[in-house]
Amino acid sequence: MAKITGLKCAVIGQNPVVRIATDEDVSGFAEIESSKPYVKPQVLYYEKYIVGQDPTDVERVMLRIRKLGSFKPWGSAVSAIETALWDLAGKIEGVSVHKLLGGKIRDRVRVYDGAVRAPLKGHSPEDYAESVRGMKQAREGFTIVKEKIGFHSAMREEVPDFFYGEVDRGSLYINRGSLTEKGLAHIIACVKAMKEVLGDEVGLALDCGPGWSLTSAIQFARAVEQLNIMWLEDMITGDYTPYVLADVYRELTSATSTPIHTGEQIYLRQNFIDLIEKRAVRIIGPDPCDIGGIAELKWAAEYADLHGIQVAPHGTGNGLIGLAALVQMSATLPKNYIAFEYPVGNPAWWYDIVDGLPNPIVEDGFIKVWDRPGMGVGLNERATRKRLSEEDEDFFD
């Protein structure tokens, strides 16, 4: 029986990478979102709780640490450990992680573009049209693309008189309020410009906030009903919001036929109960790097499916090891699965240090599910050592 002998974390490029070592000379890896390089001490804090445990008893190990996390970003360390344990369990047992999660029900998984696009040049309708035109023409052949608008963009700062409130520049999602008539008209014009480019060939999802007042959210959702938007994401709460507000979301969802989506910041399946049981949204979007891991996300997706709610997992910034985890997990999700947000390697040299990824990774908007043991990818030790900082040079030791 294998035993965990150590836990390490190194920031490689922009992404923290977790390694769980065992006495059988097999390691499990996981990756944390690139926006959280500061989580390394949090990861290492959990070492004393997991050393000596059998890594193939994933749930038993997780029961020792799961309650110590919280909403984004404080659940990312726990989530990474859980994912690395599944990688380890699959390698030790000689099977793909999707087999350990119950087996795949699809041989390829749909992904949507949230990261491949070039940066917006501005926030005019023409700028947005140009942006989605590039996404539509991307070699990956995406069938769904997502664009940032409203309070999840610089519109709040660059569009004059955008909302009733003072702009707080440089703060993280603190801007909040009702849109002016001018601001609402501007967003609607941008959405129409994007739809003119995409037509009915590529679905359009919108990452909206958080920050909208309920009134403005309802006005906008109703105004775009005839445009068949895939979803409006995080209008009320969202990224880095430490609460859910299911009752507010329920009022928004009840007021429109446009699908409402949220959930990337939520930690643990228990904190999805209100959203799901109250049918407060049409789509949940948990992130495996924040909810508590890939099995935790699967549990939430299955419970959502029982209530007629779809799932489109969040994933931008999760890197290439995170991509592998998303592929393995998404292959096992119920039929309520839509697509996951496609993360990329950043910097580009990440593609030189990860072994096992297909080339090309995405074809016609899908990724074929691979069957290699564990997550099916790994760090090339020789190439990765060249990218380690002096502080992390013992990562593989």
Q: Which tens digits make up the pLDDT trace of 116-136? A: 777 889 999 999 999 999 999
- The boundaries of the domain holding residue 352 are 99-375
Looking at the fold, whether 242 and 383 belong to one and the same domain comes out as: no
What pLDDT does residue 114 have?
75
Please tell me the predicted confidence (pLDDT) of residue 395: 98
Residue 263 confidence (pLDDT):
98
Structure tokens belonging to residue 29: 């890896």
d(CA 233, CA 35): 19
Position 169 scores a pLDDT of 80
Residue 293 pLDDT:
98
Residues 320 and 367 in one domain: yes
* Owner of token pair 């004393």: 48
Quick check: helix, strand or coil at residue 68? helix
| pLDDT at residue 118 in the model | 79
Quick check: 115 pLDDT over 80?
Answer: no
Average confidence (pLDDT) over 51-67: 98
Residue 397 domain flag: no
The answer on 107 and 60 residing in a single domain is no
Average pLDDT, rounded, for the chain: 96
- Comparing 117-121, 162-166, 188-192, which segment has the lowest mean pLDDT? 117-121
- State the Cα–Cα distance between residues 232 and 314, nearest whole angstrom: 13
Q: Work out the pLDDT band at 187, boundaries 50, 70, 90.
A: very high
| Beta bridge partner(s), residue 231 | 205
Residues 108 and 75 in one domain: no
Same domain, 156 and 231: yes
Name the percent of the chain lying above pLDDT 70. Answer: 100
> Same domain, yes or no, for 70 and 189?
no
* 76, 126: one domain: no
pLDDT band at 367 (very low <50, low <70, confident <90, very high): very high
Same domain (yes/no): 180, 319:
yes
pLDDT tens-digit profile of 212-266? 999 999 999 999 999 999 999 999 999 999 999 999 999 999 999 999 999 999 9
CA 390, CA 397: separation in Å to the nearest integer?
13
pLDDT tens per residue across span 306-340:
999 999 999 988 999 999 999 999 999 999 999 99
Same domain, 282 and 195: yes
Nearest residue to 367 (alpha-carbon basis) of 395, 335, 339: 339
Q: Are both 248 and 341 inside the same structural domain?
A: yes
Cα 154 to Cα 108: distance, rounded to the nearest angstrom: 35
Extract the tokens encoding 151.
């309070």
- Measured CA to CA, the distance from residue 355 to residue 40 in angstroms comes to 24
Do 149 and 220 reside in the same domain of the chain? yes
E strand or H helix that includes residue 110? strand 108-113
Tally of domains in the chain: 2
- Asked if residues 30 and 321 have their Cβ atoms less than 8 Å apart, the reply is yes
Choice among 156-160, 279-283, 297-301 with the minimum mean pLDDT: 156-160
